[in-house]
Amino acid sequence: MSNNHISLPAKLINGGVAGLIGVTCVFPIDLAKTRLQNQRNGQRTYTSMMDCLIKTVRSEGYFGMYRGAAVNLTLVTPEKAIKLAANDLFRTYLSKNGKGLNILGEMLAGCGAGLCQVIVTTPMEMLKIQLQDAGRLAAQQRLILPPCSTTKIVASNPVLSRAYNVSPATASRPVSATQIAKDLFHSQGFRGLYKGLGATILRDVPFSVIYFPLFAHLNKLGQNSVDGKVSFVHSFLSGCIAGSVAAVAVNPCDVIKTRFQSLHRGANEEAYSGIVDCARRIWRNEGPSAFLKGSGCRALVIAPLFGIAQVIYFVGVGEFVLGFSHFEVY
């Protein structure tokens, strides 16, 4: 059987396995990124990534660092499968004449992959952000309120407000992703789960346009002159470098997306009416440096995530599972 016939299912398996392994490894850093990005000036609960992780473990336990991991692990398989497979399929389609892709073709393939993945990414990020940020809001309440006080965490959706109106004693209680999804669906239908779709596109399309061509060129530098193969280490490092560059480049869009998708907020934290309003308020109230919040964490998340993803993808785990070929690492 030709590779053309088996490529799609194999690529979907590769993308799914890569997503599961990568997310499991870097999720605590992703949680720190979300909490740092949602902090406003004058209300800093965490001073750095390490401070955030240490305080999270102290107040919420080790598994507090994995808040939202379940929904991410559930949906990251189709998300990464779609992203990696779509890019490969677009590259194949755009190079049907047998010639290699030029930089424009590579960027178009990446753009197509980014547009395809948001179908899964938007609801996944929507639910994940609510769960990840719950601990920050609880910690903020503990800092500003006496133990016997009761306050309300403001939710932009009235149906969701009952899930977030808590006292400091119960603020750290995990909120169910299933319950959040049900509340959103019952109050707004699928539109509620896709809040922030535009912001997600604004982040993921430029990311893919930068990442995939950069990775392809970096990876090509490591090709063996004899058989054209690329080593395990070189693919991993190429994925790490390309992922870091793309992640930092689109971090301003990621900050906007994180803020815009947050359904609940702490005391004196503003709500946003749209993407432009969000960007304008962040710039006006917090300055341009606010758009780089969490950029270090995001680079640390994306680098190994895509390094692992590309290794799994190029090693050919999917092909091995389907019995069409044996993978090799060298």
Q: Give 10-residue mean pLDDT values along the chain (330 residues).
A: 55 79 87 88 82 91 88 84 85 78 90 93 90 77 53 47 44 65 83 89 94 91 82 88 94 92 72 89 92 91 83 74 59
Question: What is the set of domains in the chain, with CATH numbers?
Answer: 3-321 (1.50.40.10)
CA atoms in the 13 A half-sphere facing the CB of 60:
27
DSSP characters for 248-275?
HHTHHHHHHHHHHH--EE-TTPPP-SSH
Q: For residue 155, what is the enclosing H or E element?
A: strand 154-155
pTM: 0.78
The pLDDT assigned to 102 comes to 87
Cβ burial of 161 (10 Å; 0-12, 13-18, 19+) is middle
Calpha distance 180→176 (Å, rounded): 6
Q: What is the 3-state composition of the chain as percent helix, strand, coil, each rounded to the nearest 5? A: 70, 0, 25
The pLDDT assigned to 210 comes to 95
The pLDDT assigned to 161 comes to 45
